[in-house]
């Protein structure tokens, strides 16, 4: 699975912990920044990740800001991106089983590292359930097609 990750200053420390965790499991993850806690604008980083997920250049993206909210709002402006703000293992699992979320957005000022790493594990391990959820995703896609020119 091709993974990409980015954060703003509010998510920098958690992003670094996630990368270390993934590498300890021999999982590669392209890191597009940030590289310090200097203040930046989260849409710039969400845009780069979401664009690559949208075109299929990568399979999934992880975005971290202070709350995860701004990153998810931005990422969901891209066709085919289903970005979920996830706060625990349950929502992480549901975001995959029911929503086939291809991006998760985490809050570096919301989650402690242990919870966040468990969220990442659950999100990576859980498959989309399909069935009735497939029909609902198709409806989302139709709305996208109608509204995104």
> Do 63 and 82 touch, CB atoms closer than 8 A?
no
d(CA 37, CA 102): 26
Looking at beta carbons only, is 61 or 66 nearer to ligand RB5? 66
The minimum distance between CB 137 and ligand RB5, in angstroms, equals 25
Residue 65 within binding range of ligand RB5, rule CB under 6 A: yes
- Token pair, residue 29, equals 């993850």
Residue 8 within binding range of ligand RB5, rule CB under 6 A: yes
Looking at beta carbons only, is 11 or 19 nearer to ligand RB5? 11
d(CA 66, CA 105): 10
- Token pair, residue 44, equals 């710039």
The minimum distance between CB 40 and ligand RB5, in angstroms, equals 9
d(CA 144, CA 18): 31
Which residues have C-beta within 8 Å of that of residue 64, sequence separation ≥ 6? 5, 6, 7, 8, 10, 11, 12, 14, 15, 18, 71, 105, 106, 107, 108
Looking at beta carbons only, is 50 or 100 nearer to ligand RB5? 50
Out of 4, 5, 10, 100, point to the residue binding ligand RB5 (CB under 6 A).
10
Out of 30, 32, 69, 124, point to the residue binding ligand RB5 (CB under 6 A).
69
Out of 16, 62, 67, 78, point to the residue binding ligand RB5 (CB under 6 A).
67
| Catalytic site positions | 65, 98
Residue 70 within binding range of ligand RB5, rule CB under 6 A: yes
Site for ligand RB5, rule CB under 6 A: 8, 10, 42, 65-67, 69-70
């Amino acid at each position: 699975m091709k993974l990409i990750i980015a954060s703003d200053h509010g998510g920098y420390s958690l992003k670094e912990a996630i990368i270390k965790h993934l590498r300890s499991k021999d999982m590669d993850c392209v890191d597009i920044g940030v590289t310090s806690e200097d203040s930046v604008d989260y849409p710039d980083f969400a845009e780069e990740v979401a664009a690559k997920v949208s075109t299929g250049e990568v399979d999934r993206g992880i975005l971290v800001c202070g709350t995860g909210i701004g990153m998810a709002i931005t990422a969901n402006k891209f066709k085919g991106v289903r970005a979920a703000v996830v706060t625990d293992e349950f929502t992480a699992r549901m975001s995959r089983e029911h929503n086939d979320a291809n991006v998760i957005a985490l809050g570096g000022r919301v989650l402690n590292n242990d919870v966040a790493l468990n969220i990442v594990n659950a999100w990576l391990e859980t498959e989309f359930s399909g069935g009735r959820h497939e029909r609902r995703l198709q409806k989302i896609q139709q709305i996208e097609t109608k509204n995104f020119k």
